[in-house]
């Protein structure tokens, strides 16, 4: 029978990220991650299916924030209003305390093309989930996808600013600025 | 010594796509592709490094169209003006004669998660190249990335419409409509 390890998931997560950042993702073994926090490989696999899942387990939670944020928008909200609500809800997932973890995670992912492809796939899934939430509110295509993709673009650009060296502003603040910037930018097409 | 095979590249490309569409990408071998057009595996490898490259060889050409289109924009063009010029140039790469090939290629890619990840990676590379072209014109970040990503979003949504069943409009027409739609959509944020 396996004993409950308090905080094991978080400890494994931190140790894994530290090893990925210093040794490289490919070079790190599950055994090393477990040893770093005095646990066994078997315990690791109780929390994560593999090394990669340590980095991507949060993606579903992020998607949930987006979809719940879209659902929380007033019934009469415009498509971009719904998207703004969705992206704003995601800011809850990135409090300032998380910034240094997020920064390190991003560096690990950028250093590995396979992880980068997985990350892009997650962003694409996120945009698809948001587009579906918009369609479910009666917003037709291609508006739903254009709006959802724009929301994910704002999210990604804001996230890059949020984790930039020396950045101290909140994710919500940066997201708002990016929506305004996008509005000003694309308005010039008309 | 290897004999020059007139049109070998195109014949291999068509045969490969046909096999990927009917048998599945994973299930198709290079030997089968070559045999389908009466050529040898060795000839295949003179034109493509692997099965995957058949599907992605065009991506660099697409990027080239984008970058040249951006360069062709008037010096005084706004960021979105440069992006519109880049995306419009890509329409040359998708004449109506190409629609049925593009439709089949998209279906093969969508059916295979690994190919889908590669495709997303190519779109990300495209956006990065366009953002660089904007920065080279003196447009600062994050405007450059927001504008470039928006251009790629328009391109992708337009492409999906262009290959939709029964679609007969030109890529350029659809792209123009999508830029207008994006402008109307995001203007509402202000």
Interface check for A58 against chain B (CB to CB < 8 A): the answer is no
Using the predicted structure, report yes or no on whether residue A128 has a pLDDT greater than 90: yes
Tell me how many residue pairs between chain A and chain B have CB atoms under 8 A apart. 120
pLDDT in tens, A80-120: 999 999 999 999 999 999 999 999 999 999 999 889 988 99
8 A C-beta contact, residue B182 and residue A186: yes
3-state secondary structure of A170: coil
Put simply, the answer to whether B189 touches A183 (Cβ < 8 Å) is yes
Q: How far apart are CA A102 and CA A108, in angstroms?
A: 10
Nearest-Cα distance to chain B for A146, in Å, is: 7
- The residue of A118, A157, A185, A190 whose CB has the most chain B CBs within 10 angstroms, and thus the best one to mutate to test that interface, is A185
On chain B, the residues whose CB falls within 8 A of the CB of A146 are 153-154, 157, 178, 181-182, 185
Interface check for A142 against chain B (CB to CB < 8 A): the answer is yes
Res. B186 pLDDT band, cuts 50 70 90: confident
Q: How far apart are CA B66 and CA B58, in angstroms?
A: 13
> Which tokens in the block code for residue B55?
């599907």
Using the predicted structure, report yes or no on whether residue A1 has a pLDDT greater than 60: no
- Which residue in the set A117, A150, A186 is minimally distant from B121, CB to CB? A117
Q: How far apart are CA B106 and CA B112, in angstroms?
A: 10
Average pLDDT of B7-31?
95
Nearest residue on chain A to B161, alpha-carbon basis: A142
Q: What is the pLDDT of residue A58?
A: 85
Put simply, the answer to whether A190 touches B184 (Cβ < 8 Å) is yes
Q: How far apart are CA B61 and CA A58, in angstroms?
A: 36
Q: How far apart are CA B174 and CA A188, in angstroms?
A: 18
pLDDT in tens, A14-71: 999 999 999 999 999 999 999 999 999 999 999 999 999 999 988 889 999 999 999 9
pLDDT in tens, B88-136: 999 999 999 999 999 999 999 999 988 998 899 999 999 999 999 999 9
Nearest residue on chain A to B184, alpha-carbon basis: A187
Q: What is the pLDDT of residue A190?
A: 44
pLDDT in tens, B133-175: 999 999 999 999 999 999 999 999 999 999 999 999 999 999 9
On chain B, the residues whose CB falls within 8 A of the CB of A187 are 183, 186-187, 190
Put simply, the answer to whether B183 touches A160 (Cβ < 8 Å) is no
> What's CA A9's distance to the chain center, in Å?
18
Interface check for A124 against chain B (CB to CB < 8 A): the answer is yes
Question: For B157, how many CA atoms within 13 A lie in the half-sphere containing its CB?
Answer: 28
DSSP H helices in B73-188? 79-90, 99-110, 113-136, 143-162, 171-187
Q: What is the pLDDT of residue B4?
A: 63
> Which tokens in the block code for residue A118?
């997985």
């Amino acid at each position: 029978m396996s004993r409950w390890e308090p905080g094991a998931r978080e400890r494994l997560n931190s140790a894994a990220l530290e090893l990925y950042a210093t040794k490289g993702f490919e070079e790190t073994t599950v055994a090393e991650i477990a040893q770093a926090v005095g646990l066994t490989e078997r315990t690791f696999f109780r929390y994560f299916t593999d090394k990669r899942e340590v980095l991507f387990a949060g993606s579903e939670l992020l998607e949930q924030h987006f979809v719940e944020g879209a659902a929380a928008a007033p019934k009469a909200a415009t498509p971009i209003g719904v998207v703004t609500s969705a992206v704003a809800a995601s800011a809850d997932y990135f409090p300032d305390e998380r910034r240094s973890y997020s920064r390190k995670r991003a560096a690990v992912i950028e250093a590995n093309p396979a992880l980068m492809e997985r990350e892009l796939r997650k962003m694409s899934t996120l945009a698809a989930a948001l587009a579906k939430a918009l369609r479910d509110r009666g917003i037709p295509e291609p508006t739903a996808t254009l709006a959802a993709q724009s929301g994910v673009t704002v999210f990604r650009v804001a996230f890059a600013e949020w984790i930039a060296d020396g950045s101290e502003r909140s994710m919500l603040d940066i997201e708002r600025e990016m929506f305004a910037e996008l509005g000003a930018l694309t308005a010039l097409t008309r």
